[in-house]
Chain A
Amino acid sequence: MSEKFSRRDFLKLAGVGAATTAVLTGCGPASRYVKREPYMQMPEYNYNGQSTYYATTCRECAAGCGLIVRTVQGRAIKTEGNVNNPLNLGKTCARGQATLHGLYNPDRVMDPLKRNSRGGESTEVMDWEAAIQVVADALKNNKPEEIAFLMGMAPDHLFDLATDFANATGINAPVRFGALGMFEARATLSKASENLFGEASLPFFDVGGAQVVFSFGANFLETWLSPVSYTRGFASLRESKTKQRGTFVQFESRMSQTGGKADEWIPLRPGSEALVALAIGRLASESRGGPMPRAFSSVDPLEAASKSGIKLETLEHLAEMFAGSNNALAIPGGAALGQSNGLAVAEAVLALNAISDNFGKPGGVYFSALAPNQAEYQGPASAKEMVELIQKMFDGKIKVLFVHGVNPLFELPTSLEFGGASKYVSQIISFATFPDETVREADYVFPDHHGLESWGYQRVTTGSAQPVLSGAQPVVSPYYNTRATADVLIAAAQLAGGIFAEALPFKDEVEFLQSKAASLMNAADGSISAADINTFMAYFQQHGGYWKLSDARGIPNAVDVLNRNFSAEEAQFEGEGEFFFVPFVSPTLAEAGANKPWLQELPDPTTTVMWNTWVEMNPETAHELGIENDDVVKIISEAGELEVPVYVYPAIRPDTIAMPFGQGHTAYGRYAEQRGVNPADLLGQHFNEAGDLAFAGMKVKIEKTGKKQPLSRLESMMGVYGIGLGEE
């Protein structure tokens, strides 16, 4: 060794050489070996490398489909439908599949947080003891009538817990709300059902058993009520071993995904749905012969034709089709009900069913089966009821607002001023799993587990002939420092003492669930039964819930329907402008899917657009206005304005424009934020007679902006050769 080349240098060199060799062979110990942490104690039912499957309930919407989740070594890998659950029979929708991107979302609320100022970024991490103290203080230090719960649409165990709690302590009864319910106009459906049949139930339409289906705006293959169940119904309408292929006609001003599947798509003038339904009723009654029912006698088909823009021959042909079948079904829904005359539309369309007298018969109209532990239909709050709550907030009558399972700042139209009203509420406590808009405006967020980490049950509101109570259990242990809201409330009530502690005399959420399920333990006609509660709960979790074995759908009492008078008045449209404005719920994202990256990457079924919002415009209209695809336009309503790129859509009326609801988040994680716009910003405070928002009851103006914003679409490989992505 020379002096210049020391031993240390040699070792260095040898090390470098070894490392180089290791890199070159690609298998050095460092790169090759990983560390594995085996279980300290192998969980029950688990095996190395083997999947374990757990039954639970999908929480992506309020339908309550049963899931089977495949887990491997404590990780949830894949969701499938629960074959045993009578609601979805082993099937799921896209959102049910992507629920794992919610569970493992990189932007969840990881700890209980205190926000230093509303709307601000700065937060402090709390521990759960302090969090429970905050809730207990909120309960103790305010009058019961100053405390309110705002919850999601799903009629779940937490809603039951809050209801029991409210009943016992005198705090405000929990309000359930969701944008889906608003766009479905659920209150209108149940109100029409009350007016016609004397019972405020949610109707169930047996699409599968029908031969002819007329849908007035009901988007039942997308997000409407219970999409998986209705899709199954649609499949058996089209494809059945026992009957010939059924026909499906859709009446709407903008072709929805559902409308795209129709054999005949009838683009009627918005607002004329009731008139058209009654005219078809009249023509169908004429075609059937016999005395003209009072319900249809006053309507003039010619007038209906001219006002709706449907040719009289088309109306006659449709009426004949409807009259010619003993299994004809008419469904009201969607944008047709979200108009000033929405209730009249619902009633007129429901009345059409009286022609084929399909009430309570296969292929007809039923009342949805009530869940096993339910006495009567409990609909979510209508927009009008939300306004009442908001007014109470404005008046300072609400001091503490607990928010769970809903994101009112995003889901409610801005014009309803939930944001403004919340400033008069001294304490807003959110239990959200994700950092949504409402969390940002809340003083505290005490995150609940994700649905796949939670215990619970959910009543199935509609979609199954059998009464179903879908059961939920954690399929993985909680990933973050979250806690079940039920547990937080129970602990806080105990801490607050007095009537609060008496109202929730439970050790934890599981004990509460057992107390609720106990009455079903030995009930007749149940899918499971057991002698003791622990066995029953084990079955309940294993099977993914409890259901009755026989059909329990109600039969509407329709004796008087045809003898009633129906209003054929057209809808009133608010605002100035030449275009009818039709917002619709994005079939893939719905109200809460925007933070799941794979849902963002699913192409919209009709436009194939991904990751953004667009406005649909008829090609003729676009041509007249000199607008092309991807041109950004400004849409101005009386309530607001927003800028959005145009998608030239061949299946929309020239006087109508349409926008999907689901994007336009200002919070809610990296995949949702600052992406697209929210059409709810354009909606004004207008309601139909049932109190639902007249979301499709507005006229708007369009202005060109001269800007371009390329939309990502699946349908063409645009952009590859520089087409459509602007000149660069």
Chain B
Amino acid sequence: MFKRLFDWLIQPLGLIAVGIAVLAVFSLAAYGINYTQQPPEQPIQFPHKTHAAFGVQCLYCHPGAAKGPSAGIPAQAKCWACHQQIAKTQTSVLLAPLKQAVESGTPIEWVPVAMVPDFVQFNHRAHVAAGQNCENCHGDMTKVTVAQNPQVFNMGWCLNCHVKSAGDDQEKLVKLSDCGTCHY
């Protein structure tokens, strides 16, 4: 039976079929991997680059990053503090969800983009204090609208940087490569 199948496959039509099958599997995989790396759908197409271009500092909206583990998503009262003074807010279609949320008092359901698994205890403060800039991990926000992840936050990526920043300091290396520094 296998013999018959093999014979069929090596004739030209069979080879084309094999080629199509290989191509299909390959493109499915490519599509799938690409699909997983898409930034999620956000309730508002928040343009990071516009805000950054106005000179708004990252820490203005995400002040938690300098103070503790979580950078935080700003409360909509913070958005509104500026936006209520901007005429375009009243008319813009893109800004309508914000206006609607503030006026109706419903929270905006943001989808965080940069996430680590829940068995990782990440602390922004330590990284900011160590001199890391936001863009080192989150990419250049002056270039994107909706935030997207420039890299996959996997452990190898974290450790690479940890080892590099420890340099020759043995004590620092021990601390920065200790499992218990992030996993507990």
With known contacts A21-B29, A35-B109, A40–B75 Cβ distance under 8 A: yes
Q: Determine whether A117 belongs to the interface, using a CB cutoff of 8 Å to chain B.
A: no
* Cβ B36 vs Cβ A28 within 8 A: yes
Contact yes or no, A14 B31, CB < 8 A: yes
Contact A33 B64 (CB under 8 A): no
Say whether A716 faces chain B, with CB atoms less than 8 Å apart: no
CB distance from B35 to the nearest CB of A (A): 5
As a 0/1 sequence over residues 1 to 45 of chain A, the CB contacts with chain B under 8 angstroms (1 = contact) are: 000000000000110011111100101110011111111111000
A48 within 8 A of B: yes
Q: Within 8 Å of chain A (Cβ to Cβ): is B105? A: yes
Cβ contact within 8 Å between A47 and B111:
no
Pairwise interchain contact A38-B75, C-beta atoms closer than 8 A? yes
Task: Give which listed residue, B33, B36, B38, B111, contacts A36 with CB less than 8 A.
Answer: B111
Given A38-B74, A40-B77, decide whether A22 and B32 contact each other with a Cβ distance below 8 A.
yes
Q: Which chain B residues (17-55) contact chain A, with CB distance < 8 Å?
A: 28-29, 31-33, 35-36, 38, 40
Q: Are A29 and B38 in contact (CB under 8 A)?
A: yes
Q: Which residues of chain B come closer than 8 Å to A195, judged between CB atoms?
A: none
Measured CA separation A17–B28 after assembly (Å) = 6
In the complex, A42 Cα to B112 Cα: how many Å?
Answer: 18
- Quick one: closest B residue to A28, CB to CB? B36
Residue A49 CB within 8 A of the other chain? yes
Contact assessment for B31 and A18 in the assembled complex, using a CB-CB cutoff below 8 Å: yes
Which residues of B lie under 8 Å from residue A25 when comparing CB positions? 32-33, 36
**Complex formed: what's the CA distance from A349 to B72 in Å?**
62
**Of B28, B36, B70, B78, which one neighbours A14 at CB under 8 angstroms?**
B28
Name the residue on A nearest B35 (C-beta).
A18
Whether the pair A22, B36 counts as a contact (CB closer than 8 A) is: yes
Q: Which residues of A contact B73 (CB under 8 A)?
A: 36, 38, 48
By a CB distance below 8 angstroms, the chain B residues around A40 are: 75-77, 101-102, 105-107
A17-B29, A41-B75 are known contacts. Are A34 and B36 too (CB-CB below 8 A)?
A: no
Q: Mark B64-101, 1 if CB is under 8 A from A, else 0.
A: 10011111111111100000000000000000000001
> Most chain-B Cβ atoms within 10 A of its Cβ — which of A21, A32, A41, A50?
A21
**Residues of chain A contacted by B76 (CB below 8 angstroms):** 38, 40-41
Task: Say yes or no: A49-B68 contact (C-beta < 8 A), given A33-B112, A40-B105.
Answer: yes
Contacts of A37 in B (CB 8 A): 107-110
Task: Please give 6 more A-B residue pairs, beta carbons under 8 A apart, in addition to A22-B35, A40-B76, A47-B64.
Answer: A17-B28, A21-B31, A29-B35, A37-B110, A41-B77, A50-B67
Closest to B40 in A: A33
Report if B179 contacts A (CB, 8 A).
no
B36 touches A38 (CB 8 A): no
Contacts of B40 in A (CB 8 A): 29, 32-33
State the interface size on chain B (CB cutoff 8 A): 35
Interchain CB contact under 8 A, B36 and A48: no
- Pairs across A and B, CB under 8 Å, 6 listed: A22-B36, A32-B115, A34-B112, A37-B108, A42-B77, A48-B72
In angstroms, Cα B68 to Cα A391, docked, is 61
Alpha-carbon separation in the docked complex, A29 to B105 (Å): 28
B109 touching A36, Cβ below 8 Å: yes
A35 pairs with B29, CB closer than 8 A: no
Of A36, A42, A49, most B-chain CB atoms within 10 Å: A49
Residue of B whose beta carbon sits closest to that of A25: B36
A34-B112, A36-B112, A40-B105 known; A48+B64 contact, CB < 8 A: yes
Tell me the complex Cα distance, A22–B124, Å: 28
Query: For the complex, would chain A's binding face be called helix, strand, loop or mixed by DSSP majority?
Result: loop
**C-alpha gap A36/B40 in the complex (Å):** 13
Contact partner, B28, options A18, A28, A36, Cβ 8 Å: A18
Docked-complex contact A38 and B35, CB < 8 angstroms: no
With the chains together, A402 CA to B44 CA distance in Å? 51
Most-contacted residue by chain A among B32, B63, B70, B102 (CB, 10 A): B32
Given A29-B40, A36-B111, A49 and B77 contact (CB-CB distance below 8 Å): no
* Chain B residues with CB below 8 A from A18, complex form: 28, 31-32, 35
* Smallest CB separation, B45 vs chain A (Å): 16
With beta carbons under 8 angstroms apart, the residue of A19, A21, A35, A39 that contacts B75 is: A39
Nearest residue, chain A, Cβ from B110: A36
Q: How many A-B residue pairs have CB under 8 A?
A: 103
CB contacts (< 8 Å) of B110 on chain A: these are 35-38
Shortest Cβ gap from A697 to chain B (Å): 53
Bound-state CA distance A265–B64 (Å) is 57
Q: Which residues of A contact B29 (CB under 8 A)?
A: 17, 21
The distance in angstroms between the C-alpha atoms of A50 and B78, with both chains bound, is: 18
CA distance A40 to B76 in the complex (A): 5
Tell whether, in the assembled complex, residue A50 and residue B32 are in contact, meaning their CB atoms are under 8 Å apart.
Answer: no
| Bound CA span A94–B76, Å | 40
CA distance A40 to B104 in the complex (A): 11
Shortest distance in angstroms between B25's beta carbon and chain A's nearest beta carbon?
8
Which residues of chain B have C-beta atoms less than 8 A from A17's C-beta? 28-29, 31-32
Contact A47 B77 (CB under 8 A): no
Residues of B within 8 A of A39 (CB): 75, 77, 107
Asked if B35 and A33 make an inter-chain contact with CB atoms under 8 angstroms apart, the answer reads no
Alpha-carbon distance between A22 and B32 when the two chains are bound, in angstroms: 6
Q: Is the CB of B111 within 8 A of A35?
A: yes
Closest-CB distance, A7 to chain B (whole angstroms): 14
- Given A40-B105, A48-B64, A50-B68, are A20 and B32 neighbors across the interface (CB < 8 Å)? yes
| Minimum Cβ distance to chain B for residue A31 (Å) | 9
Do residues A21 and B33 form an inter-chain contact, with CB atoms below 8 A? yes
Docked Cα-Cα span, A306 to B165, in Å, equals 80
Residues on B with C-beta less than 8 A from A36 are 73, 109-112
Instruction: Return chain B residues, CB-CB under 8 Å to A19.
Output: 32
> Which partner residue on chain A sits nearest B77 by CB separation?
A41
Q: Distance in Å from the Cβ of A50 to the closest Cβ of chain B?
A: 5
Q: How far is the CA of A32 from the CA of B147 in the complex (A)?
A: 15
**Closest partner residue, chain A, to B78 (CB atom):** A42
B82 CB to closest chain A CB (Å) equals: 15
The CA-CA distance from A25 to B107 in the complex, in Å, is 32
CA A685 to CA B113, docked complex, whole Å: 67
Interface centre among B72, B77, B102, B110 (most CB of A within 10 A): B72
Q: Which 4 A-B pairs have the closest CB atoms?
A: A21-B32, A48-B72, A49-B70, A17-B28
Q: Hey, what's the 0/1 contact readout for A31-73 against B, CB within 8 Å counting as 1?
A: 0111111111110000111100000000000000000000000
> Please, which residue of chain B has its CB at the minimum distance from the CB of A72?
B70
Residues on the B chain within 8 Å of A28, using CB? 35-36
Smallest Cβ-Cβ distance to A43: which chain B residue: B75
Find chain B residues with CB under 8 A from A41 CB: 75-77
A20 and B71 CA atoms in complex are apart in Å by: 33
Q: Which of chain B's residues 108-138 have a Cβ closer than 8 Å to chain A?
A: 108-113, 115
Q: Are A38 and B72 in contact, with the CB atoms below 8 A?
A: yes
CB distance from B63 to the nearest CB of A (A): 8
Residues of chain B contacted by A27 (CB below 8 angstroms): 36
The chain B residue with its CB closest to the CB of A41 is B77
Residue of B nearest to A35 (CB): B109
Residue on A with the closest CB to B39? A29
Are A48 and B28 interface neighbours, CB within 8 A?
A: no
CA distance A18 to B63 in the complex (A): 37
Contacts of B107 in A (CB 8 A): 37-40
Decide yes or no: A49 and B38 within 8 Å by CB, A40-B77, A41-B75 being known contacts: no
Q: For residue A39, give the distance in angstroms from its CB to the closest CB of chain B.
A: 4
Interchain CB contact under 8 A, A21 and B115: no
Inter-chain contact B72/A49, CB cutoff 8 Å: yes
- Minimum CB–CB distance from B79 to chain A (whole Å) comes to 10
Query: CA–CA, A77 to B69, complex, Å?
Result: 16
Question: Which A residues touch B35, using CB under 8 A?
Answer: 18, 21-22, 28-29
Chain B min CB distance to A185 (Å): 47
The answer to whether A34 touches B69, judged by C-beta atoms less than 8 angstroms apart, is no
* CB of A36 to closest CB in B, whole Å: 5
* A27 CB to nearest B CB, Å: 5
Closest chain-A Cβ to B122's Cβ sits at a distance in Å of 10
Closest to A24 in B: B32
CA distance A42 to B79 in the complex (A): 12
Q: CA–CA, A39 to B76, complex, Å?
A: 7
Q: For residue A32, give the distance in angstroms from its CB to the closest CB of chain B.
A: 7
How does the 8 Å CB contact mask read for A84-113 relative to B, with 1 for contact and 0 for none? Answer: 000000000000000000000000000000
